[in-house]
A and B are shown apart, each in its own frame.
Chain A
Amino acid sequence: MILAKKDLDQALGILSQDAEVFVPIIELIEDKSGIKEPAFEKKFMPYFEGAAVGLDNFNTVKPPKDVLFPNVEKLYKYKTGENAYIQEILPEDKPKVLFGVRPCDMRSIDSMDKVFFTKEYVDSYYAKRRDLVTIVAIGCLDTQRTCFCDSMGIDPNDAPTADVMMNVTKTSRTKACPVTGCTIPEDDGSYILEARTEKGQALLEKIKALCTEDGSEEACKDTVCKLKIEKDPKLDEKLSTMFEHPIWDKITKGCIGCGTCTFVCPTCYCFDIDNENYGAEGCKYRCWDSCMFSDYTRMAGGANPRPTKKERLRNRYMHKLSYFNERYGETLCVGCGRCIENCPAHLDISEFIEKASKVDADAKEYSEADFAGKEAR
């Protein structure tokens, strides 16, 4: 089915009638004092009439994961003392649509599905949210300089597990965005939508009247990532022998130990459970946690198996690139580049992947100077 770009808002409006439609929206944060230029922020938020939808162009800073796995989520409420009780709080029944998910982010949802649905326990909260969500993925027309999903085995043009796949049509004219320089379709362009699941079919059914069928139209699928990295295809196995490798000392030195990389990462799913009390009543909630924080593994007596940033960052990289492969059969880094873009210390996981791919796994010494030929400018 073909949807003209000009009809996109109308389609989102129709879908919003019986679902909460999360779509990348560009928000202007204005400073009334007039001191600073208004700031642009792009994030997945519920569609509203007149929203500045930003399907193409750059990806959102925050991944769409919080629609399925909110930053803060209530688990149950309770009362202590007389008439004590524990009462489950499940997510509300409202159906949701995640519209405009990039292929890297779709892959990250596949990984979260593995975590929350398999290995003996199904997480009731995630499961309920997941079942109620229909996902419309969009192929990337352009990539950012930190995008390397195709080096991680993901096609930036296609998200096989999405309910609906959406691409810009080949005949759409494109232009460069005056603000970001990204290639985006002209306003008279159109999208081609393909349902991949029953949920997807049901979704397309609702906006059928806005769409046309044109068998001659094809999806534009020739996007490649700007960042190409050389990754050892068996890096996961190699890393499992490199726990004591001197590379960890070196590459973790610049880390400042904040949680930015984990919170902008679409696949980081670790959480903490804590409570909030109001007198005798209270509620238990879970919230995102970061393996980069010192209290993440610190035990009651004060002992900590990961006392410094070296152990913490090593665990993070190993989890992404080796442990997850061993447990779930796939790499947990999808190459979205968010951590590279946002790291305060400019650490770069793609650089680590390349270096770890090249080093001798048994080396006793490691020097950045060995990579100087490629690095120094």
Chain B
Amino acid sequence: MAIDHDCSCNKNPLLPSLCRVIDVKQETPDVQTYTIQTLDGRKPFSPLPGQLAMVSLLGVGEAMFSITAQGEDYIQSSIKRTGLLTEAFHEMQPGQEIGVRGPYGNHFPIDDLKGKDILFIGGGIGIAPVRSMIRYAFEHRDEFGHLDILYGARSKSDICFKEDVLENWPKEKDTNVYVTTDVPSDDWDGHVGFVPSYIEEVGFKPEGKKVVLCGPPIMIKLSSESLLKMGFQKEDVVTTLELRMKCGIGKCGRCNIGSKFVCLDGPVFTLAELDELPDEK
């Protein structure tokens, strides 16, 4: 007596559809952005900001990446070179066929964010998921209050999405962009210092403000401490988690934290929600 289910099973959640990389952009020495389309020139699917895609380099392997942007007929993912698989991704040329399945996971709490001022904080490649929400906010500009974007990278050359961060976003109305690098360099005349201390230095006010925070685990940890010290509430700070994922549909087991699965119940959690989970992040 198995559980009743829709037996047509016409959509196999583990089956990727064949897509094509139509553009490869070198963002930084170790980050590339891929623009992805179905073979007949359509958008593979329409993700909400913060959702994930399982991208498969056929014959090599697949891994979960956040979807950093989308347009009428494409989605974009940015991938940092960290291991054997991502190294193979970096060998890709435009025209390359890949498998894509998704979208997976929850998304940034758009309804909660609406009508509020938002502080976006990104560190390194962690700006990739944040960017999907930033772009959403710009596309629905009237639905959000004042926007602050604080971004930190190791050095100027490591700044992802340079046109957006350094040129496009600062021009948007009612938007302030703060950029910092960990180390100084001759071609960088902006702020130098780590993200958590820069947050305190700028002195954002918590009233009426929600925070979207993504980056490497240590940056999230220290930035959260800074934010809490400044009076932000845990309920008002959302962040994303990254664990090893395989299936993307909450079945294969490995991305659990307590009874939650990052691929299905996450990747977006508020700091308050994270407090409820076992300390295994």
Contact = CB atoms under 8 A, between A and B. Distances in A.
A197 interface: yes
Nearest to A126: B251
Nearest to B84: A300
A189 to B, nearest CB: 28
**Interface hub of A80, A81, A121, A298 (most chain B Cβ within 10 A):** A121
B5 interface: yes
A79 B59 CA distance: 8
Given A243-B279, A273-B247, A88 B15 contact: yes
A122 B10 CA distance: 10
**Interface hub of B2, B264, B281 (most chain A Cβ within 10 A):** B2
Interface in B36-67: 56, 58-63
Nearest to A300: B83
Given A163-B1, A275-B59, A300-B83, 8 more contacts: A122-B6, A123-B13, A123-B14, A128-B9, A196-B1, A271-B253, A289-B254, A326-B258
Interface in A195-247: 196-197, 240, 243-244
Interface of A: 75-76, 78-81, 84-86, 88, 90, 113-125, 127-128, 130-131, 161-163, 196-197, 240, 243-244, 269-275, 277, 280, 282, 284, 286, 289, 291, 296-301, 303, 305-306, 311, 315, 318-319, 322-324, 326-327
B249 interface: yes
A284 B249 CA distance: 17
Given A282-B58, A300-B85, A84 B2 contact: no
Interface string B243-281: 110110111111110110000100000000000001111
A331 B242 CA distance: 27
Given A301-B82, A301-B83, A305-B243, A80 B59 contact: yes
Given A113-B3, A127-B9, A130-B2, A296 B59 contact: no
A196 B1 CA distance: 8
Interface of B: 1-3, 5-7, 9, 11-18, 56, 58-63, 82-86, 97, 99, 217, 242-244, 246-247, 249-256, 258-259, 264, 278-281
Contacts of B99: 78, 86
B65 to A, nearest CB: 11
B277 to A, nearest CB: 9
A323 B260 CA distance: 8
A86 B44 CA distance: 15
B18 A84 contact: yes
Nearest to B60: A275
B9 A124 contact: yes
A96 B266 CA distance: 37
B5 A127 contact: yes
A130 B169 CA distance: 52
A243 B59 contact: no
B135 to A, nearest CB: 26
Contacts of A88: 12, 15
20 contacts: A81-B97, A86-B17, A86-B58, A119-B250, A121-B249, A121-B264, A122-B5, A130-B2, A273-B246, A275-B61, A277-B59, A282-B59, A286-B14, A289-B253, A297-B244, A297-B255, A299-B244, A300-B82, A306-B280, A327-B259
Contacts of A324: 259
Contact of A113 (B2, B15, B97, B249): B2
A269 B254 CA distance: 11
A11 to B, nearest CB: 22
Contacts of A323: 256, 258-259
B18 A86 contact: yes
A76 B1 contact: no
Given A86-B16, A86-B99, A124-B14, A243 B251 contact: no
**Interface hub of B18, B58, B249 (most chain A Cβ within 10 A):** B58
A271 B7 contact: no
Nearest to A90: B12
Contacts of B217: 303
Contacts of A85: 18
A271 B246 contact: yes
Given A270-B253, A297-B254, A120 B264 contact: yes
A27 to B, nearest CB: 29
Nearest to A296: B254
B256 A125 contact: no
Contacts of A270: 252-254
A121 B13 contact: yes
Contacts of A277: 59
Contact of B12 (A78, A124, A197, A280): A124
B9 A122 contact: yes
A269 B15 contact: no
Contacts of B278: 243, 318
**Interface hub of B5, B9, B250, B254 (most chain A Cβ within 10 A):** B254
B264 A119 contact: yes
B15 A86 contact: yes
Given A86-B58, A277-B59, A315 B2 contact: no
A114 B250 contact: no
Nearest to B83: A300
A302 to B, nearest CB: 8
A125 B14 contact: yes
Nearest to B217: A303
A297 B11 CA distance: 28
Contacts of A162: 1
B251 A123 contact: yes
A357 B116 CA distance: 47
A272 B59 contact: no
A340 B14 CA distance: 34
Contacts of A197: 1
B14 A120 contact: no
Contacts of B86: 300
Given A296-B254, A311-B280, A117 B5 contact: yes
Contacts of B244: 296-300
